[in-house]
Structure 1
Amino acid sequence: MKHRLLDRLLLPARVDTVERWAPRLRLITLTGPALAGLDWLPGQHVRLRVAAAPAAIDWLLGTLRTYTVWDYHEQRLQLLVFDHGDGPGAGWSRTARPGDELMLLKPQGNFTTSPAAYHLFAGDETAQAAYGPMLRALPADATVLARLEVDSPSERLPLSREEGAAKGPNWDLEWSYRRGRSAAAAQTLVEAVRGLDLPAEPGMAYLAGEARTIQLIRNHLVQERGWPRRNVLTKPFWTPGRKGLD
């Protein structure tokens, strides 16, 4: 494995298993002694070296891509990777095999849950990687409102208490399906959030997925419903024509 200047900050690991969970979703499990004892909060991500970079900067870090941590325990760290596009991250997810060695930064990020009267989640299929662990970590009596939009039922992951991944009596989770329509600036998802009968008191909102859709939902909550901006956390994973979004 080639050595680079940033290696002193990176942790070595290897691919343990690769599982296809949905047509465009792979669960990649990493293992290794260096992964023991990490501080991780559900919703945080890691930056993973997936390829070499252009020669001028390859000596420093290589090409890094960001992946949300689906689960972590002892020396096992799981990444739920959405397969799309033709970039180096997509290429790595398609070719990763058990035994492959790699380097990654420790978990980081502030897209995590906070105490609130209720929790609102909205996003597309790419948001599931963050929402799964965040929902699992909420208290059993938490009030959860969620509106999720994916292309088809085959891309749904088990996020709700009925599906066995999280428990709580006060859940209102609904799915909608695009059936081939674009996920960019998805008005159907915006309208699903607009149609919620929310309490007068703001809760905490977590918006993840396509950047323009997130902006529209945030504008609705802040401008139309009067929520403080600090009560709306956003995580833009992608948008057409742009690379490098977290």
Structure 2
Amino acid sequence: MYHEDYFFSRVRTAERLTPSMIRVVLEVEGADRLVETGHADEWIRLAFAPDDETPVSLPVLSNGKWGRPDGSKACPNRPYTIRHWDRERAEMVVDLVVHEGGVGATWALAAKPGDMVGLCNPEGRYRLPVDARWIVLLCDITGLPAAARILEELPAGIAAKVHVELPDMADRQALTSQADIIAFWYDSFGKHGRASRLDEIARDIRLPGGPGYIWIAGEATCVSESRKHFRDALGFDKQRITAVGYWILGQARV
């Protein structure tokens, strides 16, 4: 069950992680209230200042409802994975993909210590079945932060194959896990006449035998087609597939 709440946060550091990714470390005010989901792919929404003259503001709880009784301007917001959360230090790590014209990307490119941003309580979808012996992770670069965190939280004894579509092979990251990992990197994101070819990659994946789990994240249409392939063409149990459309071609994720 989602627990609605909102928080101010301040940039501690911002660094270029790879050519297409910026890592921002945030100090979250009121961190003791933040309710974690228990899902390794959990995401929050970052709320940005609506313009250069207007500071970030948040909804407030009034008469049991969240709103803006003061008439403050709503802030544009976008969803991002919590790459790491340290409650004791009130520190949240968020990796943002940078691309031309993106609200979050524009903010991340200019982010510096002390900058303010808003965020909300997280949501998540990933849920590994207790009997799973293997996992397939399929995503484009927007899903890489979640995939990396999922791998870090996997127990030993799981066979993990991760397939990641990148705009450039320089965007590869070191992946760590107690599980046995095999990583496949695809230099095809935004190339070859398509924004993403995640669905084509899915059709080349051969699933192991025995009980497993599939997690898919990326462009919504490609994610949907990938899910259909595993479910319909391969007959894989749809209850063991988590498919999340992180973005939609030609649309802002609002």
Q: TM-score range by the shorter chain?
A: 0.7 to 0.9
Cα 1:94–1:33 change in 2 (3 A) is same
Distance (Å, rounded) in 1 between the aligned partners of 2:201 and 2:104: 31
Task: Give the conservation status (yes or no) of the 8 Å contact 1:10–1:104.
Answer: yes
Cα 1:183–1:207 change in 2 (3 A) is farther
Partner SS, residue 48 of structure 2: strand
Mapped pair 1:214 → 2:214? no
Mapped pair 1:128 → 2:144? yes
TM-score w.r.t. length of structure 1: 0.82
Match of 1:138 in 2: 154
Distance (Å, rounded) in 2 between the aligned partners of 1:218 and 1:233: 8
Distance (Å, rounded) in 1 between the aligned partners of 2:181 and 2:33: 32
Give, as a single letter, the amino acid of the residue that structure 1 aligns with 2:47: R
Deviations 1:81-126 (A, max 9, x none): 0112314222222222111122211222223544323111111111
Task: Give the conservation status (yes or no) of the 8 Å contact 2:134–2:160.
Answer: yes
Partner SS, residue 228 of structure 2: helix
Mapped pair 1:194 → 2:210? no
Cα 1:69–1:126 change in 2 (3 A) is same
Match of 2:49 in 1: 51
Matches within 5 A, 1:77-116: 77-115=92-130, 116=132
Cα 1:182–1:44 change in 2 (3 A) is farther
Task: Give the conservation status (yes or no) of the 8 Å contact 2:217–2:245.
Answer: yes
1:173, distance to aligned residue in structure 2 (A): 2.1
1:181 to 183, 192, 196: 192
Task: Give the conservation status (yes or no) of the 8 Å contact 1:125–1:156.
Answer: no
1:211, distance to aligned residue in structure 2 (A): 1.7
Mapped pair 1:62 → 2:78? no
1:37, distance to aligned residue in structure 2 (A): 6.4
Match of 1:18 in 2: 14
Match of 1:228 in 2: 237
Cα 1:182–1:136 change in 2 (3 A) is farther
Deviations 1:10-43 (A, max 9, x none): 1122100001011120000001442246443321
Distance (Å, rounded) in 2 between the aligned partners of 1:72 and 1:181: 37
Mapped pair 1:155 → 2:171? yes
Cα 1:37–1:118 change in 2 (3 A) is farther
Distance (Å, rounded) in 1 between the aligned partners of 2:26 and 2:128: 25
Identical residues among aligned pairs (%): 24
RMSD of aligned C-alpha atoms?
Answer: 2.4
Unaligned runs of 5+ in 1: 1-7, 160-164
TM-score w.r.t. length of structure 2: 0.80
1:60, distance to aligned residue in structure 2 (A): 6.6
Unaligned runs of 5+ in 2: 52-67
Give, as a single letter, the amino acid of the residue that structure 2 aligns with 1:97: K
